[in-house]
Structure 1
Amino acid sequence: MTRRAGLALAGLALALGLGAGGRDALDRWVDATVLPPLAPATSVEMRDRGGALLRAYTVGDGIWRLPVDPARVDPRYVEMLLAYEDKRFARHSGVDPRAVLRAGWQALVNGRVVSGGSTLTMQVARLLERSGTGAWSGKIRQARLALALERHLPKDEILRLYMALAPFGGNIEGLRAAAFAWFGKEPARLTPAEAALLIALPQSPEARRPDRDPEAARAARDRVLARMVTAGQLSPEAARAAIRDPVPTRRLPFPALAPHMTDRALAEAPDRALHQLTLDGALQAALETLARDRLRGAARGVSIAIVVADHGSGEILASVGSAGYEVSGRDGFIDMTRALRSPGSTLKPLVYALGFDAGLAHPQTLIADRPVAFGSYAPQNFDGAFRGELPVDEALRLSLNIPVVLLTDALGPENLMAALDRAGVEAVLPGGRPGLAVALGGVGVRLEEMTALYAGLASYGVAKPLRWRMDQGAEAPVRRIVSRVAAWQVGHILSGLAPPPGAPMNRLAYKTGTSYGHRDAWAIGFDGRHVIGIWMGRPDGTPVPGAFGADTAAPVLFEAFQRLKPALDPLPAPPPEALLVGASRLPEPLKRFRGRSARLIPDPQAPVMAFPPDGAVLAAQAAGVPVRVREGRPPFTWMVSGRPVATGVQRRDVLLDTLPKGFSEIAVIDAEGRAARVRVELQ
């Protein structure tokens, strides 16, 4: 590009001069120009709710080429670009005769190219056609195409094409892609040093790549800064300060937040160039970091998923499908927010809410936690212990299995499945008809849908389908999962759960769950505005020994809320129709829950009446009737026909002197609430 390029420029200058008298012929020549495609392929963009870039995809040839909006480019960059490359851009018609004549004359005199004669429009022509710069035919073609472009496009569109197509080294094309690659930001606000480097790079993008030859990049940048002082665009002081700025020495990765959600968006609408999601980019980044941090030191193969939503609007604010695509040995490419998993105990709040609505129970209703059987099915508590009779709210907080199965039996498991459907949970049964084990996690659900279920409970019982596109319609028919009283009662109970060790005492309403064999650990919680769901486990379904929802997932839930906001929003007040009374003031049918088809199983450690035997006929004695109990755990309470006659008894044998003549029921209750009864006649 020395002598030959100079002759090309000189020839072009001569041709333009001779053509001045043949304007009509020139017009016909320009009008006959075949234009290349004026809409080059650009990267598909995923943006967050505020318009920030979440992720972009390369175009078909592996090029990063982001669309550029000149209105969102730093005006200083545009001013410096025009001052350096084409200061008469606003006035010429595609070719600047003065610049061409000057460049041609200098080339003839010096025998080499001293200054370029190409306008920005001519550079756009070259970039559109991917043509060279030095050949005579190439220069003529670029000039012709530049004149044609100016007749078809406004100046700002030509400038936009330049900013979209200019090369910046490697597979980086366009100003926005370059700003992300070299500075990690949008080009809306650029320092003078940054703007100067982005002006210098397209002139020789490979030779001046900062990651390969930072000194060449610095020298080119500084020449632009010096020219800007001469052009009056920068003060000498500003230029000296800019020269002191370091040149980047490595290429930065493009934003790649929410990879699972963005892949999902692309798969659903592959023809869209721009996808605006409801995600909050800053929150998404914070929770992806949290997920990675939590898996450091975890057993091999363990993954994690997090969903955050605003349960008022139903918008998903963050969705973490794993700790990352590239996390070795953890199947990070699987989106665990959408995978079918066993929910463990996280369905229990829904069962209790349905029980409240059906009039089967109240939070203060006493319910039995004793060995029971439903045909051949005999559920057990997670710890294998039994607690006797206790209030329903305590049974839920303790996540006991037997009380919730008793309620499910009374409700019918089909009604539980119907409620899941109303909540938007597409529960998948492993077999045919639902059984009682559904209440304990015997069904397949997805974290995203379980988070929606809890969003509904947080919203006074109205189903909240979650959405993740900004243009996705929020108008959906109102579907009620449970009454607002039942939803509030469940939320109030869950807000009384103690937080994990070290977590703030903030009355977050939450529930944990652990599936059979420690395959899934869950924690889902809500406050007055947001709901967060956490899942941890292995994507292949193999057990994670020692993994419990309360110990593994709950701490992540509380930390996620802390990263979401500094303080919780208060839970809603109780509805006016809520029955806020103690157990003693409940209507008689609600004081104690009794199962329908459950059969009590004898507890081998339960108290047994050693004397008297059932149906015995006893003779009255002055000292009283001797009674004795074996098994059971003291202290014991002795009752005669429902009236306590001796309490806190440590001994196993006592004399009851209060038996009236005739028939009576003698009962003994141990410290665990287990009882033994006999009916006797005193003569």
Structure 2
Amino acid sequence: MRPLFAIWVCVLLGAGLRDGFDDWIDATEMPVIAVDTSVEVRDRNGTLLRAFPVEEGLFRLGARPDQVDPRFLEMLIAYEDKRFYRHNGVDLLAGLRAAWQAVWNQTIVSGGSTLTMQAARLLENSGTGDVAGKLRQMRLAWALERRLDKDEILSVYLTNAPYGGNIEGLRAATLTWFGKEPWRLTAAQAALLIALPQAPEKRRPDRFPDTADAARQHVIDRMIARGVVPEATSLAEPVPARRRTLPMLAPHLADRLRYDDDLTRTHQLTLDATLQAAVQALASKALHGRDPQMSIAVIVADHQSGEILASLGSANYTASQNNGFVDMSRAYRSPGSTLKPLVYGMGFDQGLIHPKTLIDDRPVAFGTYAPQNFDGRFRGQIAVEDALKQSLNIPVVLLTEDLGPAQLLAKLTVAGVDARRPGGSPGLAMALGGLGVTLHDLVTLYAGLANAGQSVRLSYHPSGQAGGRQVISRSAAWQVSHILSNIPPPAGAAQGHLAYKTGTSYGHRDAWAIGYDAKHVVGVWMGRPDGTPVPGAFGGDLAAPVLFDVFRLIKPELEAFPPPPPETLLLSQAALPAPLRVFQGRNAIFQEAQGPELVFPPNGARIGQSGDGVTLKLRHGVPPFSVLANDRLVLQGQYARELHLPDIGIGASSISVLDAEGHADRVQIWIGAPQLH
């Protein structure tokens, strides 16, 4: 009976000790396991675009075992904790071995800490130099093993391990030291990353390359001895000589996403990191040698899906001289001539014009508003398609006056453009850029033109493109695209099917180029962020070459537009219905015909003697025009409203002009030196 009693006593004592031990572990005060990690912005393929630091400028990127090269995990476990998958947090055999080696050698030969104990130490940021600290790690390691599985414990280690400076976590380390994610690592790279956390500052390869190399070699030697890597494993590749900066792609967009949603830790976007980096490099090149206060913004999108593929707010986010921190893709600026295609598209839909319709390019005035062409010249009657190609101002203002400025503003809203009007009611100057829009909204507008006239909602987040609203008809959109695709490209640019329009705002403050083919749409803005003029800046000279260069980055060849819709009216000017042959406007039938008016030279003008003749400028009247000088016919069959009168001699002259309907105007001028009395 006594032996049996003794056995029962031992069993009860053991059970009591076990229960007491379990209660002790269950009562462990746990640290926060889900530590704060850097907010990450990634592209469509998961590539890191930008990471934001956590506390005190620390970059800590989360990592799971399935995101890591399996060879690294195999080497890590073999080196740090070969019984990781068999123990319950504390490897008693390893601990006894470490204690025996320390006693025998009078120094620490190997550690007994398991990966779970190291994870516990990292969570509490505690040291390992005293017995109490080691006991605390053991208790916490046992507690962690009861709450987490092995992969979750590895994740804690891979996320919190220090790798020198302000870098924590394996993903931050591979990006910093090798410029890549930890999916594929060489044996030498894996060895360095295993050695670094043991002494992250003393083994930093950028500061102590010899120490780092020796630590790396020690890991490889252990791995060879244990058969984890082959004996022929080479460490020929040098340790990294410098730290790489973490990616800084689309920083303005990343700032905006973080500000709008500060709870999301990972933002997965539609951007393409490779294209974004190429666009950023191209933008820097485009500014090289130019006004140092200039900036640039670029947006690239797939107008079929609505996905934004690249978004650049400035060429250099940290530049102070040109306010690089300002996101110019979202700044409201005057769009210059870039709204003209929409005006003409509206005119096509309203039955007011056809691409072959003749429209006047002549001096006009609407009260005190007298628009001028950019070069100050007048072309007379010109085909609508040529007026758009040449970006003439007067024809589009005449058309806007007939359509109504309020209708233009309404169409912009339908297209997804948030136009900012400086004040007062919509005016005719809107057609020439007299309002504020963003590059993002202009690209949205042109995406709709490219999408058969149906509005497109551009987005940075993956989502199916829902059907938009019809801005202009598909036939009108095709006509606009056909005209824009026949605008000559900039010097040196390849010919293709790129429909594009340039724009220059008043005072040379903004240079624009927006273009599209059958799949992609690109917008480019250049100027000064502070809105001051850039002398000599034109959209065609500055922004258009960049636009074509961006398309070369996207694809080797442009994609051709589809054929015209069956309802598209494809006729010559002579074959058009009578109301479409010449633009008259809706109210032309109610207006009394106006005869021609000689606006230059004015009546009584004295003109210095010149053998080059006299320039005449006409307003109103119906071409063709005939001109008489001193009752002698000198010009006839003229359609232009700016005419060159040959040398008619010095002295007093009478100049008369007659239009096709017999109306006339006459002025008296004096050519040469004043008459002496």
**TM-score, with normalisation over the residues of structure 2?**
0.87
1:175 aligns with 2:170: yes
Contact 1:371 1:602 in 2 (8 A): no
Amino acid at match of 1:420: L
Judging changes above 3 Å, is the alpha-carbon distance between structure 1 residues 652 and 202 closer, same or farther for their aligned structure 2 residues?
A: farther
CA RMSD of aligned residues (A): 2.6
Judging changes above 3 Å, is the alpha-carbon distance between structure 1 residues 604 and 673 closer, same or farther for their aligned structure 2 residues?
A: closer
| Partner SS for 1:290 | helix
Deviation digits for residues 36-76 of structure 1, max 9, x if unmatched? Answer: 11111111110101111111111123211101121110000
Deviation at 1:327, TM superposition (A): 2.0
1:449 aligns with 2:449: no
Structure 1 residues 58-457: aligned runs within 5 Å:
58-238=53-233, 241=234, 243-457=235-449
Other-structure match for 1:52: 47
Deviation digits for residues 536-559 of structure 1, max 9, x if unmatched? Answer: 011111000000000110000000
Of stretches 301-310 and 368-377 in structure 1, the one that deviates more from structure 2 is 368-377
Distance, in Å, in 2 between the alignment partners of 1:652 and 1:183 is 87
Distance, in Å, in 1 between the alignment partners of 2:631 and 2:148 is 102
Judging changes above 3 Å, is the alpha-carbon distance between structure 1 residues 488 and 651 closer, same or farther for their aligned structure 2 residues?
A: farther
Of stretches 51-60 and 519-528 in structure 1, the one that deviates more from structure 2 is 51-60
Deviation at 1:20, TM superposition (A): 11
Other-structure match for 2:496: 506
Deviation at 1:173, TM superposition (A): 0.9
1:467 aligns with 2:446: no
Contact 1:632 1:670 in 2 (8 A): no
1:669 aligns with 2:637: yes
| Partner SS for 1:373 | coil
Distance, in Å, in 1 between the alignment partners of 2:444 and 2:83 is 59
| Partner SS for 2:305 | coil
Distance, in Å, in 2 between the alignment partners of 1:409 and 1:449 is 24
Distance, in Å, in 2 between the alignment partners of 1:316 and 1:149 is 43
Contact 1:536 1:552 in 2 (8 A): yes
Contact 2:275 2:309 in 1 (8 A): yes
Distance, in Å, in 2 between the alignment partners of 1:187 and 1:144 is 31
Deviation digits for residues 394-413 of structure 1, max 9, x if unmatched? Answer: 00000000000000000000
Contact 2:64 2:154 in 1 (8 A): no
Contact 1:607 1:632 in 2 (8 A): no
Deviation digits for residues 101-129 of structure 1, max 9, x if unmatched? Answer: 01111112222111101111111111111
Deviation digits for residues 548-587 of structure 1, max 9, x if unmatched? Answer: 0001100000001001111111112100000001001100
Deviation at 1:25, TM superposition (A): 2.8
Distance, in Å, in 1 between the alignment partners of 2:126 and 2:475 is 72
Distance, in Å, in 2 between the alignment partners of 1:124 and 1:643 is 90
| Partner SS for 2:54 | coil
Q: Which structure 2 residue ranges, 5 or more long, are not aligned?
A: 1-12, 604-612, 643-656, 664-677
Amino acid at match of 1:676: L
1:485 aligns with 2:475: yes
Judging changes above 3 Å, is the alpha-carbon distance between structure 1 residues 588 and 220 closer, same or farther for their aligned structure 2 residues?
A: same
Contact 2:624 2:637 in 1 (8 A): no
Distance, in Å, in 2 between the alignment partners of 1:287 and 1:417 is 32
Distance, in Å, in 1 between the alignment partners of 2:595 and 2:152 is 81
Deviation at 1:23, TM superposition (A): 3.0
Amino acid at match of 1:424: G
| Partner SS for 1:522 | strand
Structure 1 residues 598-617: aligned runs within 5 Å:
602-605=597-600
Contact 1:372 1:600 in 2 (8 A): no
| Partner SS for 1:368 | strand
Structure 2 residue corresponding to 1:653, chosen from 619, 632, 635: 632
Distance, in Å, in 1 between the alignment partners of 2:397 and 2:292 is 35
Other-structure match for 1:7: none
Deviation at 1:289, TM superposition (A): 0.6
Amino acid at match of 2:288: R
Judging changes above 3 Å, is the alpha-carbon distance between structure 1 residues 600 and 314 closer, same or farther for their aligned structure 2 residues?
A: farther
Deviation digits for residues 329-362 of structure 1, max 9, x if unmatched? Answer: 1110000010000000000000000001011000
Amino acid at match of 1:509: A
Deviation at 1:28, TM superposition (A): 2.3
Q: Which structure 1 residue ranges, 5 or more long, are not aligned?
A: 1-17, 609-629, 635-640, 656-666
Structure 1 residues 524-563: aligned runs within 5 Å:
524-563=514-553
Deviation at 1:653, TM superposition (A): 3.3
Contact 1:106 1:114 in 2 (8 A): yes
| Partner SS for 2:57 | coil
Distance, in Å, in 1 between the alignment partners of 2:633 and 2:54 is 89
| Partner SS for 1:93 | coil
Distance, in Å, in 2 between the alignment partners of 1:521 and 1:440 is 13
Distance, in Å, in 2 between the alignment partners of 1:549 and 1:358 is 30
Distance, in Å, in 2 between the alignment partners of 1:185 and 1:93 is 34
Distance, in Å, in 2 between the alignment partners of 1:390 and 1:229 is 83
| Partner SS for 2:232 | helix
Distance, in Å, in 2 between the alignment partners of 1:273 and 1:559 is 35
Deviation at 1:652, TM superposition (A): 8.4
Structure 2 residue corresponding to 1:572, chosen from 536, 555, 562: 562
Distance, in Å, in 2 between the alignment partners of 1:679 and 1:61 is 84
Other-structure match for 2:646: none
Deviation at 1:297, TM superposition (A): 1.0
Over the matched positions of the two proteins, sequence identity in percent amounts to: 58
Judging changes above 3 Å, is the alpha-carbon distance between structure 1 residues 111 and 650 closer, same or farther for their aligned structure 2 residues?
A: farther
Deviation at 1:24, TM superposition (A): 3.1
Contact 1:308 1:318 in 2 (8 A): yes
Contact 2:302 2:519 in 1 (8 A): yes
**TM-score, with normalisation over the residues of structure 1?**
0.87
Contact 2:508 2:536 in 1 (8 A): yes
Amino acid at match of 1:393: E
Deviation digits for residues 226-253 of structure 1, max 9, x if unmatched? Answer: 1110010111112xx2x11100011100
Contact 2:58 2:166 in 1 (8 A): yes
Amino acid at match of 2:125: R
Amino acid at match of 1:670: Q
The number of residues matched between the two structures is: 619
Of stretches 42-51 and 591-600 in structure 1, the one that deviates more from structure 2 is 591-600
Distance, in Å, in 2 between the alignment partners of 1:559 and 1:281 is 17
Distance, in Å, in 1 between the alignment partners of 2:180 and 2:518 is 35
Distance, in Å, in 1 between the alignment partners of 2:210 and 2:529 is 48
Deviation at 1:602, TM superposition (A): 3.3
Distance, in Å, in 1 between the alignment partners of 2:616 and 2:323 is 50
Other-structure match for 2:7: none
Distance, in Å, in 2 between the alignment partners of 1:226 and 1:105 is 23
